[in-house]
Structure 1
């Protein structure tokens, strides 16, 4: 197996491997972990926000609404747009499912 990086989620202790050039979210999904909600997978929705507590990484384009330059400097990034350069320690920040449901409405057809 070629080079890969170990990603550790601080609170759960879950660990998974991430290949160079692979996003943390993609590696997390391949391992079957669900520590963050998944939305658009392209840096726009903000659902997969994590905090990188240790290690080096590169970031792809992310919505400034969900990942401001200040937040990125503090390690608050979107897992779908984070590519490790070394082993990482992350903290997942799952959003409330209740908060997500309140944005959606259901309508019924009247007959």
Structure 2
């Protein structure tokens, strides 16, 4: 089953199968600069904060990159989660710099009204 993922920072939306990681779905956007790193939870370049929606964790995240407290508050590595429903997320750290490079910040209503579904 596919679920819609919203990147709040850019207003972009993409479909993500519940059997794939959110990072793999995000990479299909085809945008240059989306760092994919190790894809195993060790490098920390795909850090996101899930602001709404359900997901499951597929592997252990390096505590060097995501503390227990951060994880409890929705900050996770996109390579380590699978959507179990529609998700809204914000990009953090190195991923934020890559995804938002050259973009003007969106007002909250603009982000909700934008659609880009794959």
- TM-score bucket (shorter structure): 0.7 to 0.9
CA contact (8 A) 1:39 1:48 kept: yes
Q: Which position in structure 2 is the counterpart of 1:83?
A: 82
43 and 15 in structure 1: CA distance in 2 versus 1, 3 angstrom threshold: same
Q: Say what the alpha-carbon RMSD is for the aligned residues.
A: 1.7
Superposition TM-score, scaled by structure 2 size: 0.73
Structure 1: which 5+ residue stretches go unaligned? 98-111
- Which structure exhibits the higher relative contact order, with contacts defined as CA atoms closer than 8 Å and separated by 6 or more residues? 2
Instruction: Give the Cα–Cα distance (whole angstroms) in 1 for the partners of residues 33 and 50 of structure 2.
Output: 14
Instruction: Give the Cα–Cα distance (whole angstroms) in 1 for the partners of residues 66 and 46 of structure 2.
Output: 11
CA contact (8 A) 1:36 1:93 kept: no
CA drift of 1:34 comes to 5.3
Q: Are 1:19 and 2:17 counterparts?
A: yes
CA contact (8 A) 1:35 1:94 kept: no
CA contact (8 A) 2:27 2:36 kept: no
- Matched residue pairs, number? 95
Q: Find the structure with the greater CA-based Rg.
A: 1
9 and 24 in structure 1: CA distance in 2 versus 1, 3 angstrom threshold: same
CA contact (8 A) 1:5 1:86 kept: yes
- Of 34, 39, 42, the match for 1:41: 39
Structure 2: which 5+ residue stretches go unaligned? 99-118
CA contact (8 A) 1:36 1:49 kept: no
Instruction: Give the Cα–Cα distance (whole angstroms) in 2 for the partners of residues 35 and 7 of structure 1.
Output: 19
